[in-house]
């Protein structure tokens, strides 16, 4: 199982939002690349980056910061505002390893299918769910589509990776929504990256146990718990790589 430490960028700085709310912002670092360097020093291979300004504006806004993170040497998984092919191509050209399509995936299967044909498993789909319904545009609105229904549609298109975020737990440090994640794991052949609510070491232990029974649980995104020093990245990386007992 892969641990994806998270960097959310707003105004060029590393921040965290509570439940995606722009008015609930905490700034953790002025330079996101410095945070990425710390993650790499502790042994991480990946970093999950969200361009929050891009998510709200509809196109990437922090490309300079993203390029600086990629230059650190981590594999970058990027979401936020990637709603055109040109934006995706630009991000991949900056060194991003995997582009995450969110809002547009809920709007256009054809768009996702075109990207999968062109870029294969470098394309992931982010499904952000609020009470089981898909939320879009920086989580400010929901569409009349169930998260599992969207996942099944993406599976038919050949999407290799789904990032499933439970908005109700994101940034709340209350623990993941395990039933929702298990339901997503059963919805298709795609790999699932769980996101939202990790608050303590035991949450990752439980996800690692879940991964042993579900080969398609690829990993977990950890954000606020790292910044609030509730968990230690090097410890989580050891947990995630430990062989099954």
Q: For residue 5, how far is the Cα from the chain centroid? A: 9
Catalytic residue status for 23: no
The active-site residue out of 8, 51, 53, 170 is 8
The torsion defined by the Cα of 34, 77, 169 and 159, in degrees rounded to 10, comes to 180
The active-site residue out of 51, 128, 203, 218 is 128
Sign of the alpha-carbon torsion through 72, 193, 229, 30: positive
Structure letter (DSSP) for residue 89: H
Catalytic residue status for 218: no
Three-class SS of residue 63?
helix
- 158, 123 contact by CB (below 8 A): no
Three-class SS of residue 50?
strand
Active site amino acids:
8, 128
């Amino acid at each position: 199982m892969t641990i994806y430490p998270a960097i959310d960028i707003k105004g060029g700085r590393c921040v965290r939002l509570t439940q995606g709310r722009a008015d609930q912002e905490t700034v953790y670092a002025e330079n996101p690349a410095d945070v990425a360097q710390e993650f790499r020093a502790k042994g991480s291979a990946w970093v999950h980056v969200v361009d929050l300004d891009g998510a709200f504006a509809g196109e990437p806004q922090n490309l300079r910061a993203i390029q600086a993170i990629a230059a650190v040497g981590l594999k970058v998984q990027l979401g936020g505002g990637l709603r055109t092919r040109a934006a995706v191509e630009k991000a991949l050209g900056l060194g991003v390893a995997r582009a995450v399509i969110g809002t547009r995936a809920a709007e256009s299967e054809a768009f996702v299918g075109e990207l999968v044909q062109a870029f294969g498993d470098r394309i992931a789909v982010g499904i952000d769910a609020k009470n089981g319904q898909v939320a879009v545009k920086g989580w400010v609105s929901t569409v009349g589509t169930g998260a599992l229904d969207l996942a099944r549609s993406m599976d038919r298109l050949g999407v290799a990776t789904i990032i499933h975020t439970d908005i109700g737990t994101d940034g709340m440090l209350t623990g993941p929504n395990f039933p929702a994640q298990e339901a997503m794991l059963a919805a298709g052949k795609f790999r699932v990256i769980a996101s939202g609510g990790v608050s303590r070491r035991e949450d990752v232990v439980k996800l690692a146990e879940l991964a042993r029974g579900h080969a398609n649980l690829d990993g977990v995104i950890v954000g606020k718990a790292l910044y609030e020093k509730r968990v230690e990245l090097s410890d989580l990386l050891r947990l995630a790589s430990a062989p099954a007992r």
